[in-house]
Amino acid sequence: MARGGKQRSARAPRARLTHLDAQGRAHMVEVGDKAVTAREAIARGRVRMSPATLDTLQRGTAKKGDVLAVARIAGIQAAKRTPELIPLCHAIMLTGCELAFSPDATQSVLHIEARVRALDRTGAEMEALTAVAVAALTVYDMLKAVDREMTIEAIALHEKRGGKSGDFVRARKP
Amino acid sequence: MARGGKQRSARAPRARLTHLDAQGRAHMVEVGDKAVTAREAIARGRVRMSPATLDTLQRGTAKKGDVLAVARIAGIQAAKRTPELIPLCHAIMLTGCELAFSPDATQSVLHIEARVRALDRTGAEMEALTAVAVAALTVYDMLKAVDREMTIEAIALHEKRGGKSGDFVRARKP
Amino acid sequence: MARGGKQRSARAPRARLTHLDAQGRAHMVEVGDKAVTAREAIARGRVRMSPATLDTLQRGTAKKGDVLAVARIAGIQAAKRTPELIPLCHAIMLTGCELAFSPDATQSVLHIEARVRALDRTGAEMEALTAVAVAALTVYDMLKAVDREMTIEAIALHEKRGGKSGDFVRARKP
Amino acid sequence: MARGGKQRSARAPRARLTHLDAQGRAHMVEVGDKAVTAREAIARGRVRMSPATLDTLQRGTAKKGDVLAVARIAGIQAAKRTPELIPLCHAIMLTGCELAFSPDATQSVLHIEARVRALDRTGAEMEALTAVAVAALTVYDMLKAVDREMTIEAIALHEKRGGKSGDFVRARKP
Amino acid sequence: MARGGKQRSARAPRARLTHLDAQGRAHMVEVGDKAVTAREAIARGRVRMSPATLDTLQRGTAKKGDVLAVARIAGIQAAKRTPELIPLCHAIMLTGCELAFSPDATQSVLHIEARVRALDRTGAEMEALTAVAVAALTVYDMLKAVDREMTIEAIALHEKRGGKSGDFVRARKP
Amino acid sequence: MARGGKQRSARAPRARLTHLDAQGRAHMVEVGDKAVTAREAIARGRVRMSPATLDTLQRGTAKKGDVLAVARIAGIQAAKRTPELIPLCHAIMLTGCELAFSPDATQSVLHIEARVRALDRTGAEMEALTAVAVAALTVYDMLKAVDREMTIEAIALHEKRGGKSGDFVRARKP
């Protein structure tokens, strides 16, 4: 398990969850003493679907454009509303967000990647992960009439830059 | 691939996506001629984490209760705001929603299950899937300070009851 | 303590909280088997302020109208978003909502009353209480530059009609 | 009436409400020329309930944890959405938020306290008051099946730090 | 001025605004005694832009698809959140919603049309008008870097069906 | 067509839409390298209505105040939620917002103007335009029972100050 920066080990005997206070009660962590820095987070995930469904999506994409356009917008909007969805998240100043989709016939999956940048005291990991998850749910919604067995897989943080805990590049494949 | 009811095959040569019109443009599907019926959907997913993180979560859960309590509330609230997140979803009359979590040391994962019931013209699949996804994201948020390599996996619909397309019980394991 | 209908006594040895399941976990209570009935709830509260502040409000009200107009709109909008604010509340079909304000120089308070009506399987108490609370907060916001010592008091349910648990008319003054 | 700092007297003959312009029309006050400073606000309130209800809550808290956990999350989320609820509030950069609950058998009340911190041009009073109010409403919602006569009382600002108008510590008990 | 059904004349000496009570105070009109009927509303509007901008939009549309896809999603989502935006609107059960765009080089405008259907006690006019307005604003947003002089014009209700006041077909061109 | 500042010509052969990337896909434009500056935007629009409706509005305004008060609040709140409505808009730090209405019997219209100020990396045009549009929709909603033929017209940006692209004062009347 490779991690960058000063992040503390998950194996430390008394790993303390920052979102819980000394009594174990949830709170919104104080970040007022942290510096505003440029931050970036890249998250990825995928939607596994039958070859026929992937084919429908791709033909749809080639000719019509709307399936992935809807998912892209849903993901960007979800990034913006992350603090409403994730109870203890701070609202942060997002400076940019983009989503990329790549259908992969070999694995019979649609890959989704979100890149989020912010200038703030706390990072944009949750925004990137939320964008991927909501884009994946939207793809599911638009294709569910032809395939209810799709699965949303491997939503994970891949890179993170900026902030006191240092850079992070994922070592293990999810 | 086993599917219940009258759901059309994903392999049919002209599988039409209901969320796109004849020109391939996104729209909110008309459901006004469907009957209001009792509907239920069960979705599941899991958060894969290191054994140390799972142990931190479980000790936290046993003593303090707040980590999973926060994720449970986040999931229920997300079920209610599904039509805001998923662009082409109809708002439906949810009648009940519950989330269950079960840590699994053997697989080193936290299992999440959402059951959603509604009385409406369209189903509650997206609500159940969204509840699982947002609960999983919330678990990630609360544990990320100790483990950034967690992965959200296998978000899938497991059961669905009610509505014209009939019942669905997932055949393949996600 | 006078209560109408079949409401169970708060002194019963095993009063079970409906919003917690048998294991004490929060869930959204299933209401799918309840009948849709006409429901009404009346809640009241008041904002205590200095005589000078009340005088400013009243002169403002007489001449300008906007302070209470803003609070009224805030209260009505809050009634509509109650299920977003109160985590385990169901969204219900509100059919009407009104707020009344009456300044009371004798007690040096502003009285606030909300009446909410709905046609649904569950009651509108939380909508009426939320409307009063948010209207009171809005009054505080608009007058806080002249009086930070205002207090929001006595937010309580006064009447409730419709539904299986029967009618309720508050006995004790809050 | 004791007030800290430079706050103007509520008894001044021409006390002007900052949220109304010279014609008495509501507007969002311009704060662009104020400095960004660290701000903190502490608000308190309480929920009065029967001894039996308080006992149910406490036994629930001891064994299960979920009632106050739900109210805590509701309060934190409400702090974040204050500018949506209170029409003329500015969105501010919250840096931290926590809620504390203390059941008080002597008075038969549950005390609620919210502390909110922000780095912005305007204060966090409304966020702290809103957090207390919504946490109190959530407690009401979760206990209303056993006691509809609960009352939400004494929601007031207790301390405020930062900003041009100086510090404020409440003199009178609400 | 041609109007369908029983709508009262705007020239009647005591035309009463339904959204104000007898004292002129805003309230959410009671609709609980109205029947649930199928309702439809069609609204239109247009965005006037320079020929060069319209050309950029059309080339974009032909090749890329995303400009109007984003506006379409924004319009549909706005229809769903109409009761949050328009303070005295009831939430209604939308059963379908679609938006159509047609660039018109002769007039140098983009025409926008929204059709909304609902099954409820009150109509869907505001949902259709809001969808058109927000789709137009989104088009403005996406093209403003090349043309800040665009104008949003002629947002009007064109047809309305269902409900007690009868059908309405606009007589005058807006 | 007169434009201030460095805005590029809409007639340039390769006008690129900033909200689309090189492949024509929507994204949230990166603004992290722009300076935070004071920004102001002024937008205007109008609601055309029959003389009788305008008379009802004016008598209502004189005596009761609530119609325009509701529209004003709706406009201010819409300015704050612009990034939720317009998919690719950044959330910005609004520092002030005001709306003005002026009934005009000669033209039989109600004029609406919104002024929005912000301290941010990107401008407040969309906030001002959204405020005008939602205020106009709210006026429509409150008067529609007496006049369904009202039209929302001429929503346009009139002035813009601050930011790299320089000041803008509209040349053509909309």
Following DSSP, what letter does each residue of A45-82 receive, concatenated?
Answer: EEEE--HHHHHHHHHHHHHT-HHHHHHHHHHHHHHHTH
Task: Report which of E57, E163, E159 is spatially closest to residue E116, judged by C-alpha positions.
Answer: E159
Q: What is the pLDDT of residues B97-150, one digit of tens each?
A: 999 999 999 999 999 999 999 999 988 999 999 999 999 999 999 999 889 999
* Entry pTM: 0.91
Q: Do D97 and A31 touch (CB under 8 A)?
A: no
Residues of F annotated as catalytic (active site), given as ranges:
141
**Chain mean position to CA E16:** 24
**pLDDT above 90 for C165:** no
Kindly report, residue by residue over B69-86, the tens digit of the pLDDT: 999 999 999 999 999 999
Q: pLDDT of D148-171, one tens digit each?
A: 999 999 999 999 999 887 899 998
Work out the burial of residue E16: count CB atoms within 10 Å of its CB; fewer than 13 is exposed, 13-18 middle, 19 or more buried.
Answer: middle
A25 contacts in chain D (CB < 8 Å)? 69, 72, 98, 100
In a domain? residue B22: no
Q: What does the pLDDT profile of chain F (174 residues) look like in tens digits?
A: 333 334 444 333 445 677 888 777 889 989 999 989 999 999 999 999 999 999 988 876 544 458 899 999 999 999 999 999 999 999 999 999 999 999 999 999 999 999 999 999 998 999 999 999 999 999 999 999 889 999 999 999 999 999 887 899 998 777
| CA terminus-to-terminus distance, chain B | 12
Asked if residue C18 is part of any domain, the answer here is: no
Answer yes or no: is F11 within a domain.
Answer: no
The gap between the terminal CA atoms of chain C, to the nearest Å, is 12
pLDDT above 50 (res E6): no
Please tell me which residue, F24 or D142, carries the higher pLDDT value. D142
The DSSP bridge pattern shows strands E37-48 and E109-120 to be antiparallel
pLDDT reading at A64 higher than 50: no
pLDDT value at residue C100: 95
Q: Residue E172: closest CA among chain F residues belongs to which residue?
A: F149
* Per-residue model confidence (pLDDT) at position F98: 95
Kindly determine whether residue B26 and residue E76, on different chains, have CB atoms separated by under 8 Å. yes
Please indicate if any CB of chain D lies within 8 Å of the CB of F89: no
Model pLDDT, residue E7: 41
Distance from CA of F65 to the nearest CA of C (A): 6
Crossing angle for the helix pair E125-143 and E66-80, to the nearest 10 degrees: 150
- Residue A15 has what pLDDT? 54
Residue D62 domain flag: yes
User: Across chain A, what does the average pLDDT equal?
Assistant: 86
**Is E133 among the domain residues?**
yes
Closest Cβ–Cβ partner in D21, D30, D83 for F95? D30
F chain contacts of residue E19, beta-carbon cutoff 8 Å: 67, 70, 141-142, 145
Task: Give pLDDT tens digits for C115-161.
Answer: 999 999 988 999 999 999 999 999 999 999 889 999 999 999 999 99
Q: How confident is the model at residue E15 (pLDDT cuts 50, 70, 90)?
A: low
Q: If you count them, how many residues does chain A have?
A: 174
Q: What angle do CA F104, F109, F110 make, to 5 degrees?
A: 80
With bands split at pLDDT 50, 70 and 90, how would you rate the model's confidence at E125? very high
pLDDT, position A102: 94
Put simply, the answer to whether E65 touches A70 (Cβ < 8 Å) is no
List, for residues E47-64, the tens digit of each pLDDT value: 999 999 999 888 765 444
Query: Is residue F21 one of the residues assigned to a domain?
Result: no
CB-based contact, C45 to chain D, within 8 Å: yes
Task: Calculate the alpha carbon distances from C144 to A49, B72, C41, C54, D126 in Å.
Answer: 57, 36, 29, 12, 10
**Under DSSP, is residue A159 helix (H, G, I), strand (E, B) or coil?**
strand
Q: What chain D residue is nearest to C158 in terms of C-alpha separation?
A: D149
Residue A72, pLDDT score: 95
Domain count, chain A: 1
Chain B positions in Cβ-Cβ contact with residue D66 (cut-off 8 Å): 65, 69
In the prediction, which pLDDT does E60 show? 63
A98 → closest Cβ in F28, F31, F91: F28
Q: What percent of chain D stands above pLDDT 70?
A: 87
Would residue F169 count as lying in a domain? no
Q: Is F126 on the interface with E (CB under 8 A)?
A: yes
| Nearest chain E CA: its distance from A85 CA (Å) | 17
Tokens of C40: 């009404």
Residue of B nearest to A57 (CA): B17
Partner-chain residue, chosen from D94, D96, D100, that has the shortest CB–CB distance to A91? D94
Helix (H) / strand (E) containing F108? none
Mean pLDDT of A136-155: 95
Give the count of beta carbons closer than 10 Å to the beta carbon of residue B37: 15
Kindly list the partner chains of chain A, i.e. chains with 3 or more CB atom pairs below 8 Å: B, D, E, F
- The pLDDT assigned to A60 comes to 62
The residues near D59 (Cβ < 8 Å, ≥ 6 apart) are none
Whole-Å CA distances, A24 to B120, D70, F140: 40, 14, 51
With a cut of 50, say whether residue E5 has pLDDT above it: no
Beta strands in chain C (DSSP E): 37-48, 94-104, 109-120, 151-161, 168-169
The answer to whether B76 contacts C26, with C-beta atoms less than 8 Å apart, is yes
**How do strand A151-161 and strand A37-48 relate by DSSP bridges?**
antiparallel
With an 8 Å Cβ cutoff, are F65 and C66 in contact? Answer: yes
Dump strand ranges (E) for chain A: 37-48, 94-104, 109-120, 151-161, 168-169
D52 interfacial to chain F (CB closer than 8 Å): no
CATH number at residue D57: 3.30.70.640
Domain of E56? 34-164
Which of C21, C104, C141, C167 is the catalytic position?
C141
Look at residue E119 and tell me if it is in a domain. yes
E119 or E10, which is more confident:
E119
Question: Within an 8 Å CB–CB cutoff, is residue D119 touching chain F?
Answer: no
Please check whether residue A91 touches D, CB under 8 A.
Answer: yes
Is the CB of residue E7 less than 8 Å away from at least one CB of chain F? yes
The reply to whether residue F28 touches residue A94, judged by beta carbons under 8 angstroms, is yes
